[in-house]
Chain A
Amino acid sequence: MATQTQSQFNQALKKYYSVYTGGFILFVIILAIGEQLGMSNRAIGLSFLFATIGLYALIGVMSRTADVSEYYVAGRRVPAFFNGMATGADWMSAASFIAMAGGLYVGGFNGLAFIMGWTGGYVLVALFLAPYLRKFGQFTIPDFLSARYGGNIVRSVGVFAAILCSFTYVVAQVMGVGIITSRFTGLEFGVGVFVGLGGILVCSMLGGMRAVTWTQVAQYIILILAYLIPVVWLSVKVTHFPIPQLSYGYALQKVTEREKAINADPKEQEVRAVYKQRADAADAKVKALEKDGDAYLASERAVVEKKLADLKAANAPEKDVAAAQKALDTFPKDVGNAGVAWRTDTRNNLAKAAPVKAHGEAFPGKDEHAQDVSRWNFLALIFCLMVGTAALPHILMRYYTTPSVREARQSVGWSLFFIFLLYFTAPALAVLVKYDVYHFLVGSAFSELPAWVARWREVDTALISIVDLNMDGIVQLAEISMHGDMIVLATPEIAGLPYVISGLVAAGGLAAALSTADGLLLTIANALSHDVYYKMLDPKATTLRRLTVARALLVVVAICAAWVASQKPADILFLVSAAFSLAAAGFFPALTLGIFWKRATKWGAILGMIAGVGVTFYYMAVTQPWLRSIFGVTTPISDNMWLNIEPISAGVFGVPIGFAVIIIVSLLTKAPDIKVQEFIEHVRYPHLKGDIDTRAA
């Protein structure tokens, strides 16, 4: 391919991917016909799983390479348009694909922080980073820090921060792969994880960035088709118009009317009263526990034990005995755990006892103070997600792969455009599903629940549960508990589409998780193989040796990630959001000041990065329940909060402190020498006559 010009290469790419898209659609149609002829759901699920993973592996094998520049930056020939698609797939993870629309369904307006935060960050990438990093033209983000500030200390800090935020993120993706494969094919979680991982490794190990890039383009096409088809269908069903992003205003109005009607419905109030009673009961237990401690806990335990014994003695139905056994098994071990569990119980029941919040209402809260807290947290979260987006190494790395600065600039535009296609659809999806639930599920008879409810109830009661609390035989909204994660996966069934579309959506979710995992694994392995091994330990290593080390590390990192994922760490979602705050505080100030402020010095950058990450981490450690328990923090959370900001947005403190420390320390230390000045000028101008050259060989 070396003899091809760039424009011939572009033409060839367009042809390949058009044929590929057509082929994939044909494959879906064949499966749809198969379904009509009686193909089972499990067979359809497995066909999607093996066909798509096999396809990704095939692209990986075809893109294998023994060239360092191909391995690390895809030969810097990826056109803006295709790099945009690859970045889109790299960026949109299982969280974007599956959880985001669910978050909007459950959280209404507050969920929009993710929509804005995860798109607006690209403006920062475009204006402050992408073109300059492309001009610099090496392989990794620590490469840039080291070249700009000099020395291996700043490189090491960069490597540490890159691994810290990428690893938590990749674990979440691997878990996503396991959940999707197990749900749609019936394979076990662990098996699902390893099938997915096998696909990732075949792909990235042989071809590095080159293989990952071309696979990500393929994955983007699948994931966007899978996301849009069911929503368009649902939109036609609800609003008789096929462009959901324009037409869901109608549905939103109807939802708002229904919310009012539901809040006024006496039957709903009955159900909410049941929850209020439960909340009061749980609260009474908390109060008694505070008063009597261990003695009360023991007496409560005795009650649970007695109930189990009574049921067994009375030969009660097996279901009731099992429930009582479960209640005993999950009974809190000590006073501390009991307090946490029962307070959560109180809070959850109180939440269900409250009237429905209006979907579009901004910053809901009971009084002005609560509304202000909600508003500032909303804005702080947007800030952290945006700055974090502009600091995640696996995204920034993608802009090293375009042929020129010019294309790097355009490529950010295409990236956001392709991401935007999914993100501006998600709010429409949430409202359309809400419309369907509020109009067709609420008010239906328990004896005639829609088919999708029955099916999903069987899959997992944690996803959706409906219990007739006031025993009137009619579904009230307050009787439905729906987990956000099922919204996207269940949309095809809600819209009344055949199972083959459900399989397609699962394949889309899988593509989203795999593509992000690919990019992240490569980032981590490259930080270790390129920055640590080649740049710091053995700068004389041969090409063959460098690539062998890179491939070996990739496998090791992948296995570590799979192992951690198979432990199913509970607070992984928090860790993923935390990764944004940490990346924001760690990288953004040092990268941007490095380009825009010639006076920024080595020690300014080192201390600024450490201070930014340190403050962010400290704030999380004293305010986030899980981290508090690890570090044994016992002071009340409310005393540790600054300005009532939630721990997820800790970067809102870390980023300004990172900037401040870099500026102050830089002014106190000696100005960088002439070489650094030249370096900065080099990065700022796409082309200068008689310029230095920083490109990596």
Chain B
Amino acid sequence: MQLTERHKEYWRKNITITAILFVIWFVVTYVTGYFSRELNELVLFGFPLGFYMGAQGSLVVYVVIIFYYAYRMNKLDQEYDVAEKEG
């Protein structure tokens, strides 16, 4: 099976999307995690921000990342005609 240029482009786009989402995941987890002490100085609605990110904020971002990835990739499959056929 020979891959066409379009197939290769599909894979490159997939890698780009994956990499961007991976970086967001990394920043939300480790960069905000590292600076939790400093973020805690900020208090919003009673929540110190560093604590809030660990307890709730980062979780919301994770859920959004995954649903966005599913949405984006499923569309990309269609665009590049590599989607599974129904049935």
Contact = CB atoms under 8 A, between A and B. Distances in A.
Interface of A: 109, 112, 115-116, 119-120, 122-124, 126-128, 131, 245-246, 248-253, 360-363, 371, 375, 378-379, 382, 386, 404-406, 409-410, 412-413, 416-417, 420, 423-424, 427-428, 678, 681, 684-688, 690-692
Report the 10 A-B pairs with minimum CB-CB distance, sorted nearest first: A249-B46, A362-B36, A112-B54, A427-B55, A409-B70, A360-B51, A413-B67, A253-B46, A413-B66, A126-B66
A128 B62 CA distance: 14
Contact of A127 (B22, B30, B54, B77): B22
B56 to A, nearest CB: 5
Given A375-B36, A686-B77, 11 more contacts: A109-B36, A109-B50, A112-B55, A127-B21, A245-B56, A249-B47, A363-B37, A379-B33, A410-B74, A416-B62, A685-B7
Query: By DSSP majority rule, is chain B's interface helix, strand, loop, or mixed?
Result: helix
B18 interface: yes
16 contacts: A109-B54, A116-B29, A123-B22, A127-B69, A362-B36, A379-B34, A382-B30, A409-B69, A409-B74, A410-B67, A412-B70, A413-B67, A686-B82, A687-B77, A688-B7, A692-B1
Interface string B25-59: 10001100110110110001111101110111011
A162 B31 CA distance: 32
Contact of B84 (A109, A249, A404, A428): A404
B56 A687 contact: no
A341 to B, nearest CB: 35
Contacts of A363: 36-37
Q: Which of B44, B50, B62, B77 lies at the interface centre, i.e. has the most chain A CB atoms within 10 A of its CB?
A: B62
Contacts of B33: 116, 378-379, 382
A116 B21 contact: no
A420 B83 contact: no
A416 B37 contact: no
Nearest to B64: A413
A405 B85 CA distance: 11
A250 B77 CA distance: 46
A541 B67 CA distance: 41
Given A378-B33, A687-B85, A416 B63 contact: yes
A122 B65 CA distance: 10
Interface residues of B, number: 46
A115 B73 CA distance: 27
Contacts of A413: 63, 66-67, 70
Chain A interface, >50% SS class: helix
Contacts of B67: 410, 413, 417
Given A386-B29, A687-B84, A410 B70 contact: yes
B66 to A, nearest CB: 4
Contact of A123 (B1, B21, B30, B84): B21
B1 A416 contact: no
A413 B60 CA distance: 11
Nearest to B15: A596
A126 B36 CA distance: 26
Contacts of B7: 685, 688
B54 A687 contact: no
Contacts of A386: 29
A120 B29 contact: yes
A417 B70 CA distance: 13
B59 A420 contact: yes
A413 B50 CA distance: 25
Contacts of B58: 116, 119-120
Nearest to B14: A684
Contacts of A423: 59
Contacts of B14: 684
Nearest to A254: B46
Contacts of B37: 362-363, 371, 375
Given A112-B55, A362-B50, A375 B1 contact: no
B82 A685 contact: yes
Which of B18, B47, B55, B85 counts the most chain A CB atoms within 10 A? Answer: B55
Contacts of A684: 11, 14
Contacts of B63: 413, 416-417, 420
A548 to B, nearest CB: 33
B1 A686 contact: no
B1 A691 contact: yes
A219 to B, nearest CB: 22
B56 A688 contact: no
B21 to A, nearest CB: 6
B4 to A, nearest CB: 10
Contact of A409 (B3, B51, B55, B73): B73
Given A123-B25, A409-B74, A687 B82 contact: yes
Contact of A424 (B30, B50, B56, B83): B56
B59 A405 contact: no
Given A379-B34, A382-B33, A405 B84 contact: yes
A109 B82 contact: no
A371 B75 CA distance: 46
Contacts of B36: 109, 362-363, 375
B62 A686 contact: no
Contacts of B66: 122-123, 126, 412-413, 416
